[in-house]
Amino acid sequence: MSVSLYCYNPIRFSSFEKQDIKTFNELYKIINFGVAFIDRTEIIKTPVRTAIPLQLKLPAYDSTFNMSYEECCQARVREILKKQEELDVPINLLYSGGIDSSLILVSFIKELGMTEAEKRIQIMLHTESIEENPWMWHRILRRSNFKMIASEEMSNNWNKEKLIVGGEFNDQLMGSEMIRKLCEWKGDRILHQPWTETLMTEFHLYMNLSKEDAEHWTKVFLEHVKRAPCAVETVYEWWWWINFTCKWSSIYFRLLMHVKNKALVTQEYLDNYYFQFYGDENFQKWSMVNRTHKIKDSWLSYKWHSKELIAEVCGEEYKSKIKRGSLWRLLSYTIGAEAIDQNYNFIEKVKPIDWYNSNNSFII
């Protein structure tokens, strides 16, 4: 059986002259250029031959799941601390100052108390992290005894002497920045409207897809959404589900694509030393069940519950913070791999034709 890709840089496939690839690439008028779109429900077949590693498979829907988001955070903290005790290495928290990494820090402090957290966690940060969350900086970090490391060092310093904890996947649990685009299109009121095929095609047209491609993508998404194990009823939920299922792999690997010590990245390494905090089974089950704690009625309320939990430590002002991307700072201006295959081989120069999948959902 031929090898497939776990992740790839889609920009490298953009000049591939085939009708199905062109239709597929129209997607990048809607989502960011850098996202490798891989459906982990395996309903949408893309023109790129991909596979999903075991750790990224979608857990089964469990309608009886009743842990709160906060309980999921604390359970995840305990799991990571247990792993740390086993390996006896420090935890390096990738702290961008954004909502996701701020909540991780808060959760660790809640679990351990400040003194113990300072001993066990090292903060990898950027000067932007200070600007991103000045309350955390002035109230907690600036006079703390946390060891701090410039996150710019990150891609040069991957090894087994630390356990990496990052804040990826919270956006996929909550809906992602796509929600902002929806609100720009029709205002906040669009979020909780029931989706219709016409409405979703209109959105594609608003994002500058041609009529034919807009309709085709609606058809592809519709097939995907209809087969969701949980309820997907509103426009907001439609995009949450697509993000949750189809961006997961890309998000997991985007940091790893920039690792310089490539030989380090094996299944054993990923299982033991690489933790994207919001990616465990509890959080995913929570996301499939919960309909109240992700967003209220506006883009500004996106991740409102996460912000409330952070505000317990950073102060009330934090609740007015909005979501903005901060990871690009870490990965910008470096040359990463163009793909990672399912044997964790890093491919520096990808040849699109080698990974073409003719059995895809975009042959019209």
Partner 1 sequence: MKVILVDQTNTGLLYVGKENNRSSSVIANILKNGLVDVRLFAIGDQNPVHNLSNNDLYKDKKHYSISTKSFLSNEFFSPLKESLQNEIYLKRRELIELRMPIVERLAFLSSQALHFVYQLPHFIDVENDLYHAIKESDSELEDWHYGIKEYAHTNQLEPKHAYREIKLEIETIRHIKIKIYSLIKHFSDKINLSNNKEELEAISNEIFNKFIKDNYI
Which alpha helices (H) appear in 276-340, and where do they start and end?
A: 281-289, 304-314, 328-331
Residue 92, H or E segment: strand 91-94
160 or 351: whose CB is closer to partner 1? Answer: 351
Q: Which two tokens stand for residue 241?
A: 């589900």
Is 334 a binding residue for partner 1 by CB under 8 A? The answer is yes
Give me the least distance between CB of 12 and partner 1, in Å please.
8
Task: Name, in order, each residue with C-beta under 8 angstroms of 103's C-beta and a sequence gap of 6 or more.
Answer: 73, 167, 170, 306, 309, 310
Contact residue for partner 1 among 290, 331, 342, 356 (CB under 8 A): 331
Is 1 a binding residue for partner 1 by CB under 8 A? The answer is no
- Cβ proximity of 129 and 44 under 8 Å: no
Is 324 a binding residue for partner 1 by CB under 8 A? The answer is no
**Options 71-79, 97-105, 184-192, 326-334: segment touching partner 1 (CB under 8 A):** 326-334
**Options 32-40, 64-72, 200-208, 231-239: segment touching partner 1 (CB under 8 A):** 32-40
Q: Could you tell me which of 101, 95, 96, 140 has the C-alpha nearest to residue 122?
A: 95
- Alpha-carbon distance of 301 to 314, in angstroms, equals 18
> 176: alpha, beta or left, given left = phi > 0 and alpha = psi -120 to 50?
left
Q: How many CB atoms lie within 10 A of CB 160?
A: 12
Contact residue for partner 1 among 33, 229, 261, 316 (CB under 8 A): 33
Is 9 a binding residue for partner 1 by CB under 8 A? The answer is yes
Is 35 a binding residue for partner 1 by CB under 8 A? The answer is yes
**Options 52-60, 141-149, 218-226, 311-319: segment touching partner 1 (CB under 8 A):** 141-149
Give me the least distance between CB of 145 and partner 1, in Å please.
9
In the complex, the residues that contact partner 1 under the rule CB under 8 A are 9, 11, 32-35, 125-128, 142-143, 148, 150-153, 254, 325, 327-328, 331-336
